[in-house]
Amino acid sequence: MSNTYDLIIVGGGPAGMAAAIYGSRSRLNTLVLEAKRKTGGQPSTYHDMENYPGVPETTASELMDNFRKHAEKFNAKFKRGEVTNLEVNGLEKIVSTKKGGEYKAKSVVLAMGAEPRKLGIKGEEELKGKGVSYCATCDADIFEELDVVVIGNGNSAVEESIYLTKFVNKLTMIVIHDEGVMDAEKILQEKAMENEKIDFVWNSVVEEIKGDGMVEKAVVKNIKTGETQEIDCHGVFFFVGRVPNTEFLEGTVELTENGYVKANDEMETSTSGVYAVGDVRNKVVRQVVTAAGDGANAAVMAQGYIEEEEYWQNNVLKSKKPVLVAFWSVTNQNSMDMITKLESMGLEDKDYRFVKIDTYKNRLISNRYDIEEIPTVIKLIEGEVEERLVALSVEELQEFI
């Protein structure tokens, strides 16, 4: 089986699978590489899903399963593989995996998401999997009728706490803010406050997790008074944000100080033909619906990029004849007059290849050649710019030819 595709998507969360739906539906040969055994990304670790538009009643795992089925309906392919390197050579992108797999594509969508943030507090690493957890859906049933502590107060922390109360005896949320102040949405805060199984410890942080082989206590410190207390518990759940999986991208695409991929509203990164979507992208709102929107945008942009690049390489860069490229726009009458004049000059008979570039539809090519004003005509020989005329008149055009 060939390992060459039109579009490779790194990550099978909601953003990646939305990109797969749009990419494969556009007849792009599409591959999704997912590091984990199960696709679905971060939502696959949740239970409830109440805020995806048009789907009032479903679970997070059911919704993610439907995302995958939808992508597979349009012949998107899924393979398991942890991507460790991305190499970009113009239109060819080479994606390498930890186990030695190598895949080639014309465009790549980065959708690796993020991993749970670890605080590095004493006992956290030692008791991981022994009462320390980062996933309520994965581990809730282990703590049935037991007492647990939750660190965090954002949307994920509150949603997962509410889910945990279906199993546990008692849940204590450790909140760093003043009493009544949380980072979660108001409706979630209200649900948590009304839940009889949830207690709150305000103005506090967990300093240490104690236990002889299994979690037994959480040492909690009040950040205002400095006083500490030990809370008896059988589990400690961390929901304190996530860290993007972007280590392998350093030097390939531009990253923020926190490791998120810098991408614009069109999901374009600093590298042509490489897009970033979902939680791996530098953005404010991180929800399933916004991730899906990112994925759709990226796939549409990738399709346009591939079409532009293939046309440019085949008709311009590989041309044996000198190429005259005219940049124009339907909103600029002078540029349209220029196109009409050029088309009447019999350029093919003068041993030229003539190419028209609409600056609205072909942004990538226009940006590559720094087209700031139209009409502009450039002459390329063997792919290199030999001459350039900006805002030229018909007389200048005739002399140029």
The residue ranking higher by pLDDT, 20 or 396, is: 20
Q: What is the pLDDT of residues 303-320, one digit of tens each?
A: 999 998 998 988 889 888
The residue ranking higher by pLDDT, 375 or 33, is: 33
Q: What is the pLDDT of residue 114?
A: 87
The residue ranking higher by pLDDT, 84 or 116, is: 84
Q: What is the pLDDT of residue 132?
A: 94
pLDDT at 191 over 80: yes
Q: What is the pLDDT of residue 240?
A: 92
Q: What is the pLDDT of residue 391?
A: 79
pLDDT at 214 over 80: yes
Q: Active site residue: 6, 48, 65, 138, which one?
A: 138
- b/e code 100-117 from CB counts within 10 Å (16+ = b): ebebebbbbbbbbbbebe
Mean pLDDT within 26-49: 87
Q: For domain 4-116+242-312, give the CATH superfamily.
A: FAD/NAD(P)-binding domain (3.50.50.60)
- Spatial separation of the C-alpha atoms in residues 103 and 253, rounded to whole Å: 19
Whether 183 is catalytic is no
Whether 6 is catalytic is no
Q: How many CB atoms lie within 10 A of CB 306?
A: 20
Average pLDDT along the chain: 92
Q: What is the pLDDT of residues 281-340, one digit of tens each?
A: 998 777 889 999 999 999 999 999 999 899 898 888 988 899 999 999 999 898 898 888
Looking at the domain covering 319-400, what would its CATH class be? alpha beta
pLDDT at 228 over 70: yes
Query: Cα–chain-centroid distance for residue 108?
Result: 11
- Spatial separation of the C-alpha atoms in residues 147 and 322, rounded to whole Å: 76
Task: Name which of 17-31, 89-103, 263-277, 351-365 the model is least confident about.
Answer: 351-365
User: Residue 23: which of 289, 301, 312, 274 has the closest Cα?
Assistant: 301
Q: Active site residue: 139, 233, 279, 294, which one?
A: 139
User: Residue 240: which of 112, 371, 150, 139 has the closest Cα?
Assistant: 150
Q: What is the pLDDT of residue 1?
A: 55
Q: For domain 132-238, give the CATH superfamily.
A: FAD/NAD(P)-binding domain (3.50.50.60)
Whether 139 is catalytic is yes
Instruction: Compute, in degrees rounded to 10, the torsion defined by CA atoms 111, 116, 120, 124.
Output: -140
Q: Active site residue: 65, 135, 147, 337, which one?
A: 135
Instruction: Tell me whether the CATH fold assigned to 132-238 matches the one assigned to 319-400.
Output: no
The structural domains of the chain, with segments of one domain joined by +, span: 4-116+242-312, 132-238, 319-400
The residue ranking higher by pLDDT, 43 or 46, is: 43
pLDDT at 250 over 60: yes
Mean pLDDT within 254-273: 94
**pTM listed for this prediction:** 0.77
In this prediction, residue 341 has a pLDDT band, given cuts at 50, 70 and 90, of confident
